[in-house]
Structure formats: C-alpha cells, structure tokens
Structure 1
Amino acid sequence: MLRTLSGARALGPGDFSAALDLCAVDPLANVFVAARLIEGGPSYAGALLGTDDGRRLRSMCWTSANVVPIGADDAALDAFATRLRRKRRRCSSIFGDADQVLGLWRRLERHWGDARSVRPDQPMLAVSAIPAKGSGPSDARVRRARLDEIDQVMPASAAMFAEEIGYPPYVGSDREYRRMVTSLIAAGHTFVVTEGQEVIFKADVGSLAAGVAQLQGVWVAPRHRGKGLATPAMRAVVRQVIETIAPTVTLYVNAYNEPALRTYHAAGFRQVGKFATVIL
C-alpha cells in the first residue's frame, strides 16, 4: 500500500536523531543543517519542518534566518510552502540543492514578493585529498586568525559579505556580527594572510559536521586581486583543513564566477552537485 504525506509538521527534540540521519544521506550537501543541529543540540530540531511517509522522516526544511530544504520532492515542497507562506519577514535567503530551492521558490514567490537576487546555478565543489606538491605552489603565509586580530578580520568579513550579498551584514551596531566573526576565530575556523595590520586573504569554515567542512567567506582584498594570490592560498587552506579539521572540504560558488572556479579547480576541488540561492 502506498504511503502518502499528510502535510508538514513542526519537528522537535524527539526528531533530533532522525533529522541527523536524513542529513547523513548526503553529508556534503546537507552539512549546513547538520552543523546547526550538532551545535545546538536536540532543541534545535524545533527549527525544522518535516514530512513523514508513515514510518520515518522523509524530508525536512530548516526554517530559521535561512530556509534550507532537504530530501524534498514535489509533495514535500507543496507541504513546506503551505507552512512557510506567512514567514517571509524572518528569512534572509533560501539555499541548498538547486532543484529543491527553485521548486520551493516557485511556490513562495507570489506570497513573498520579489527576491533581491536569484542564483540558480551554483556548482557545489568538494575535495578530499591534500593538493600534491606538483599541482602548484601553496602559500606558506596562510594561518589561523588570532582573537587579537578581530579588528582586522571584521572589515574583511564585512566587505566579502557586502560584495557577495549586495548589502552590508549589519546596520548600526556591529555587536551581533562581531560575535559571529569572533566565534569563528575562536574555533580556529578562520584562515588569513596578512600584510602588516591588513588582512589580504580570508576563508572561513562556516559549517562542520560528519567529516565535512564547508568553506564560506573566501575573499581577497581588491588591490591584491589578479596577482596570483588566491590559488596558492586556497591550496594552503585545503591542506590545513584536511589535516586538522575534516577529511572533506566543500564550498559552492556562482557558475558565472569563472575566476573563482579556476581557483577552486586548481586547488583540487571538483563539482559534486548544484546549489541555488534566493537572496531576499
């Protein structure tokens, strides 16, 4: 007998293990949600909607400041959209597997209004091998940022965010943003190259779960672009992350960003999926 969905329900602490199991079906694509769950513990399952097939959790959708669907077919997307139609003000983006994100956005667009940007083609890349010496030079200056460098890292982080998203990461007080940047540095998840008191390259491990480290915030200071800094620095980041944090490194990038794609491929990354992002 066929089992059908009965609509999306709010998940809770009792669904924590099942949610992590669903993330583990594709740990590379689902590292963001898995990391949030691991960081927050069972109570964070309350940020999820889920659909069941009568026996098990079949799909879910993270619904905090970001919306991230996982394992969702058309029926699940219909169910999630029904629950999300009135939550527009809480959300800054929808991202994840391209087919699921774009399918969900088609269902929400007339309720949520225009997006700032829709990025439908973002190759998801991964590497699980330290770059070989023969693959090219690695920048020996790449290191973990120190907590006493927060005032140098903050401008780099904010500049990267504004360039990528199209608006600044905070208006008025920088307290919450500063707290986020500080937490990444404290965890040893921010890698930098500096010249004097200036950060000229930066990359963060933004999510970490199930042996997967997802990079975000990769940035080169404008006056250093086009000088061959990015590729050796990324090779060094990949080496240090694989050696000390996780055996697999992932990231996703806009398909039109050909310089970034060349850099990542030269650092050993290969495409393993396709993401999409709707910026609201």
Structure 2
Amino acid sequence: MLRLAGARLLDERDGQAVRAVLAGDPVASCMVASRVESVGLDPWRLGGEVWGCDPRGLRGGGRLDALCFAGPNMIPLRGKRSALRAFADRALRRRRMCSSMVGPAEQVMGLWAELESEWGPAREVRADQPLMAISGAPRVAADPRVRPVRPEELDRYLPAAVAMFIEEVGIDPRLGDGGAGYRARVAELISAGRAFARFDGDEVVFKAEIGAMSSAVGQIQGVWVHPDRRGQGHAAGGTAAVVERLVTTMGRTASLYVNSYNAPARAVYDRIGFTQVGQYATVLF
C-alpha cells in the first residue's frame, strides 16, 4: 500500500492534479479555484501557497490525496488525519499568518485539532455552517432595485460593508491600518461588478457581494440588511437578485455558507431555493 509523504508546496507541475481536486467539488472549492484559475499556482501571484499530499513517489501526473491553501485564510479542502497532521507540521514551521481557517468542516476541525495547542485559543469556532447552493432560478422574486454598486458610490456603500463585517465577524475591519486595506478590498469588488446594493437615497438598505467566483460557482458573502429595514423581505428579494445575476447572466451556480444557529437567514435561503450540499466550519483568530 502506498503511504502519504509529507505536505509539500505545489507548483505548475502539479496543476492537472490540483485542478482535478478542485473540479471534484466545485462548490466547496470555489474560494481556492477562483484564485488558481486566475493566476495559477505561483505563490507570489496567488497570494499564498497550495500544499498537497500524494502517495509517496508520485508527482506531476499522479493524484493528490489532500489539498490545502495557506494564505490570508487557511483553507484545507481534502485530507484524512495523516494528511492534516502533515499540513499542521508545515504550518507550525512558521508563525501564523492567516486570520481564519475556513472550508469543509471535517478538514477544518481536523486541522484545528492538530494546531490548537500552538495557535489557540481561537477567538471563535463556528463548527457547523451549512454550505448551500442553487443552480436554477430563485423561487423568490428578485428585488429590481438591487444593482451593482458603481465606483463613485464607494463612500456611500462602505459604512454598510463595515457594519456588516462587525456584525458578522465581531471585529472592526478598520483596526490596524485605519481601514485602508478593507476599503481597497471593497473597492476591488465594486470595480469587478461583484458588489450589489439597494439604495434608498444615500442609505444602503440591502447589500451583498460575490466574494469568490470560479468558472463554475460564485460564492455570495456579506448579505446584510439595514437594521431599521429588517423583517420587510429585503434579504430574500436582494439575495434573489444576486442569485439571478449569477445563474442567469453569469452562468454559474450560486453558493453561500451560513451559521447553523442563524435561523432567520437559513429560512430566507430555503425560500429562495438554496439546498444544503455540504458543511463548512470556520475558526476565527
């Protein structure tokens, strides 16, 4: 029986094997696939490293039994216990550089079990996040007033994005650099046509973004409704508008993941027509 070698840095010689893993579960792997499809496996262009474990002695044309992206987020996509231990060994050779671990729950929680003694305690562990997807038309009418945010609307949109981030993640994204990095990220999404909002005057009523987009899947993130306008159907109609844009206009499956305890959000996504296709977990530092 072939045994797994240690985790190693992957490069373009491993491209075929990496893409086979990503294609095997396009919804779960969207965040990594979007990066690899755009820039390949070069760490400098990728903004991180892709690690793999494969049967000893196979490289270049062989299969990968485990895969992990190590960058601003650590995203383990595939791997049994021995592979997760190998990823942990590699991660512990340097200081922690990621702000979170996110991905399929089995891999995230398994890797966290290997790293917790050195990287812990975590600020928060969200062990049960249903991963949901829809590839057809939404069952809820799309809000016609939800549209892509224009670049000149950044300053109107940004306060809502900050409010969403604080509410969802629990920290202010402006800490450390005064918000320059977060502002640049939001501006990038707007320029790419992947930030959506309903404006009433200068007020953002609803917002959402397509945070990652591969050739097959778009992952929706940052769904938020102004606190004074909640309970009026804006979340359903607004999210349906983003789903419609992804599925009908862009020809992709729409996906998102949600905390299991967020019953109102889960009810909205069920009404739209999302179905659960997997389970994610997130560890926040």
SS of equivalent to 1:68: strand
Structure 1 stretch displaced more, 36-45 or 229-238: 36-45
Q: Counterpart in 2 of 1:143?
A: 147
Question: What is the CA–CA distance in structure 2 between the aligned matches of 1:136 and 1:243, rounded to whole Å?
Answer: 14
Q: Counterpart in 1 of 2:272?
A: 267
Q: Counterpart in 1 of 2:233?
A: 228
Aligned partner letter, 1:118: V
Q: Structure 2 length as normaliser, TM-score?
A: 0.92
Aligned partner letter, 2:133: A
Question: What is the CA–CA distance in structure 2 between the aligned matches of 1:217 and 1:168, rounded to whole Å?
Answer: 14
Question: What is the CA–CA distance in structure 1 between the aligned matches of 2:96 and 2:78, rounded to whole Å?
Answer: 25
Q: Counterpart in 1 of 2:9?
A: 10
In the TM superposition, what is the alpha-carbon distance from 1:152 to its structure 2 partner?
Answer: 1.3
Aligned partner letter, 2:49: A
**Change in 2 beyond 3 A, CA 1:136/1:217:** closer
Asked if 1:93 is matched to 2:97, the reply is: no
Aligned partner (choices 76, 80, 87) of residue 73 of structure 1 = 80
Q: Counterpart in 2 of 1:155?
A: 159
Structure 1 stretch displaced more, 4-13 or 258-267: 4-13
SS of equivalent to 1:36: helix
- Kindly provide the CA deviation profile for residues 124-172 of structure 1, in whole angstroms up to 9, marking residues without a partner as x: 00001112xxx44331111111111000111111111111111011324
- Structure 1: segments with no counterpart, 5+ residues: none
In the TM superposition, what is the alpha-carbon distance from 1:173 to its structure 2 partner?
Answer: 2.8
SS of equivalent to 1:42: coil
Q: Counterpart in 2 of 1:43?
A: 42
Q: Structure 1 length as normaliser, TM-score?
A: 0.94
Two-structure CA RMSD over aligned residues (Å): 1.5
Kindly report structure 1 stretches of 4+ aligned residues shifted beyond 4 Å. Answer: none
SS of equivalent to 2:65: strand
In the TM superposition, what is the alpha-carbon distance from 1:20 to its structure 2 partner?
Answer: 2.0
* C-alpha contact 2:126 2:282 (8 A) present in aligned 1: yes
- Kindly provide the CA deviation profile for residues 146-203 of structure 1, in whole angstroms up to 9, marking residues without a partner as x: 1110001111111111111110113243222111111111111111101101211111
Q: Counterpart in 2 of 1:246?
A: 251
In the TM superposition, what is the alpha-carbon distance from 1:206 to its structure 2 partner?
Answer: 0.7
Aligned partner letter, 2:171: Y
Question: What is the CA–CA distance in structure 2 between the aligned matches of 1:265 and 1:56, rounded to whole Å?
Answer: 36
Asked if 1:124 is matched to 2:128, the reply is: no
* C-alpha contact 2:10 2:41 (8 A) present in aligned 1: no
Question: What is the CA–CA distance in structure 2 between the aligned matches of 1:217 and 1:47, rounded to whole Å?
Answer: 25
Structure 1 stretch displaced more, 32-41 or 258-267: 32-41
Percentage identity across paired residues of the two chains: 44
Asked if 1:197 is matched to 2:179, the reply is: no
* C-alpha contact 1:14 1:42 (8 A) present in aligned 2: no
Q: Counterpart in 1 of 2:171?
A: 167
Structure 1 stretch displaced more, 145-154 or 249-258: 145-154
In the TM superposition, what is the alpha-carbon distance from 1:247 to its structure 2 partner?
Answer: 2.5
SS of equivalent to 1:89: coil
In the TM superposition, what is the alpha-carbon distance from 1:21 to its structure 2 partner?
Answer: 2.0
- Kindly provide the CA deviation profile for residues 210-245 of structure 1, in whole angstroms up to 9, marking residues without a partner as x: 311110111111111122211122222211221222
The alignment of Structure 1 onto Structure 2 pairs a total of residues equal to: 276
Question: What is the CA–CA distance in structure 2 between the aligned matches of 1:232 and 1:92, rounded to whole Å?
Answer: 32
Question: What is the CA–CA distance in structure 2 between the aligned matches of 1:151 and 1:16, rounded to whole Å?
Answer: 40
- Structure 2: segments with no counterpart, 5+ residues: none
Question: What is the CA–CA distance in structure 2 between the aligned matches of 1:275 and 1:88, rounded to whole Å?
Answer: 25
